[in-house]
Amino acid sequence: MNKLLEIKNLKKYFPVKSNWLEPMRFVHAVDDISFSINKGETFGLVGESGCGKTTVGRTVLRLYEPTSGSIVYDGNDITKGDMLPYRRKMQIIFQDPYASLDPRMTVGDIIAEAMDIHRLSGTRTERDEKIHDLLTLVGLSPEHGCRYPHEFSGGQRQRIGIARALAVRPEFIVCDEPISALDVSIQAQVMNMLEDLQRDFQLTYLFIAHDLAVVKHISTNVGVMYLGKMMEITNTEELYKSPLHPYTQALLSAIPVPDPKISRSRKRVPLEGDVPSPIDPPPGCRFRQRCKYAMPVCSEADPVLKEVGPGHWCACYLLEK
Ligand code: SF4
C-alpha cells in the first residue's frame, strides 16, 4: 500500500499570554506524534475533548503552522513552503456545519467558491451542472442551490459541507467530528454516505472523533490521543479486540452495549478526574493522574510509543516489563 500522508514527530505549541515579567508559557496541543495513512484508507483519531486531535487535523492541512516535525504528502514534504498546489487535493469537513457556511451566500455559491478559486468551474452552464450533480450526490435536490444555509437542518447543512469539500475533486479529507453535532437519527446516514463516497472516489480520510464507537466501522487504523500525545495505534480490529493502553481500555469500556446481558457482565474501567492542563506539562506519562496502574517510573519520563506486537504501537511502561 502506498502511503499518502506521513506525519513524523509533529508538534504544535500555542503561546499563552502572561504577565510580561513571567517567562512565556506554551499549550502543548500536539506533542511529538507520528502516524501514516495509506491511500484509500481511513485513520481514525480518537480522544476526549481537548486532547489535540482537531489541532492535528488543522496542522496537517497547514491551517495551523507546525512548531516542528514533518508532514509528507504523496512523497512531497509540505511542512513548509507554498500550500496552494495541495489545497485542492486536501480538504476538510468541519464539525459545526452552520458555523462553516457563510450565511450571506447561496448554497450554490458556497459549493462553487472553491471551484472558482481553483479554476475548475468552466462555463456558467458547466458550473451550474456541477453544482446540481454535487447536490444530488450528497442526497439534496438541485433546487437547494438557490437557498441559504439557515433554511436547512443540521444534517442537510453537513451534506452541503461535504458537497463543498468534494467540489474540487480532493484525494484526502480531514473529517473533523463530522457527525457529533448531528441528531443521532441522521448520524448513520452521514457515516454511510462518507463510506460510499470514499469507495466511489478513492478518498483517503483522517477521521477525527471523541467516541471510539463512531470510528469503528469506518477506520482501517485507529490512533488514541491523550493530552497531545499518541497513546496507542493499531488496526481497528486489533484495537477493539485487544486494547493495551489503560486509557484505550477505559474509553472502550464506556461504549454502551445494546444487549443488557452483555452490558451487565462487562467490566467497566472507570475514568476518574479531568484531563490535566496542557500548559507546559511536567515530564512523565500524561495519563498518570488518572491511571490506576501508575508506578513511580511513570512520573519520571514520557513513555515512548513502541511496537509491542505486529503493527500494534503503545506508549506505556506496563508493556516494557
Ligand atoms: Fe499508566 Fe504508567 Fe502506563 Fe501511563 S505509563 S498508562 S501512568 S501505567
d(C-alpha 303, C-alpha 318), whole Å: 10
Task: Count other C-beta atoms under 10 Å from residue 94's C-beta.
Answer: 21
**CATH architecture for residues 3-89+170-320:** 3-Layer(aba) Sandwich (3.40)
Distance from Cα 49 to the centre of ligand 1, integer Å = 20
For residue 36, the cross-strand partners are 6
CA 252 vs. chain centroid, Å, equals 18
Look up residue 124 and give its three cell numbers.
Answer: 456558467
d(C-alpha 190, C-alpha 79), whole Å: 32
Q: What phi, psi does 263 have (nearest 5°)?
A: -60, -45
What's the pTM value of the predicted model, to 2 decimals?
A: 0.92
d(C-alpha 108, C-alpha 114), whole Å: 11
Report the pocket of ligand 1 as residue ranges, CB < 6 Å.
246, 285, 287-288, 291, 293-295, 298, 303, 316-318
Look up residue 317 and give its three cell numbers.
Answer: 511502561
pLDDT at 271: 75
pLDDT at 275: 76
Q: What is the DSSP letter of 290?
A: G
pLDDT at 280: 81
Mean pLDDT by 10 residues, the chain (321 residues): 93 86 88 97 94 96 97 96 93 87 94 90 91 95 94 93 95 94 88 95 96 89 96 96 94 76 66 79 90 93 94 94 63
117, 52, 131: which is closest to 83 by C-alpha? 117
d(C-alpha 139, C-alpha 304), whole Å: 45
Give me the half-sphere count of Cα atoms (radius 13 Å) on the Cβ side of residue 310.
1
pLDDT at 184: 85
Look up residue 27 and give its three cell numbers.
Answer: 499549550
Nearest atom in ligand 1 to 291's CA? 1
CA 74 vs. chain centroid, Å, equals 19
pLDDT at 70: 97
pLDDT at 3: 94
Q: Are the beta carbons of 127 and 112 closer than 8 angstroms?
A: yes
Contacts of 209 (CB under 8 A, 6+ apart): 44, 45, 46, 177, 179, 180, 215
d(C-alpha 47, C-alpha 208), whole Å: 9
Of 231, 306, 317, the residue with max ligand 1 atoms within 8 A of its CB, to mutate for a pocket test, comes to 317
d(C-alpha 61, C-alpha 86), whole Å: 9
3-state secondary structure of 161: helix
Contacts of 261 (CB under 8 A, 6+ apart): none
107-117 and 124-137 helices, crossing angle to 10° = 120
Q: Where are the domains of the chain?
A: 3-89+170-320
Distance from Cα 34 to the centre of ligand 1, integer Å = 19
d(C-alpha 39, C-alpha 259), whole Å: 36
d(C-alpha 10, C-alpha 191), whole Å: 28
pLDDT at 192: 93
Distance from Cα 250 to the centre of ligand 1, integer Å = 13
154-166 and 124-137 helices, crossing angle to 10° = 130
Nearest atom in ligand 1 to 292's CA? 1
Q: Measure the N-to-C terminal CA separation of the chain; round to a whole number of Å.
A: 33
Nearest atom in ligand 1 to 297's CA? 2
pLDDT at 259: 66
pLDDT at 50: 87
Nearest atom in ligand 1 to 245's CA? 6
Task: Count other C-beta atoms under 10 Å from residue 220's C-beta.
Answer: 18
pLDDT at 265: 64
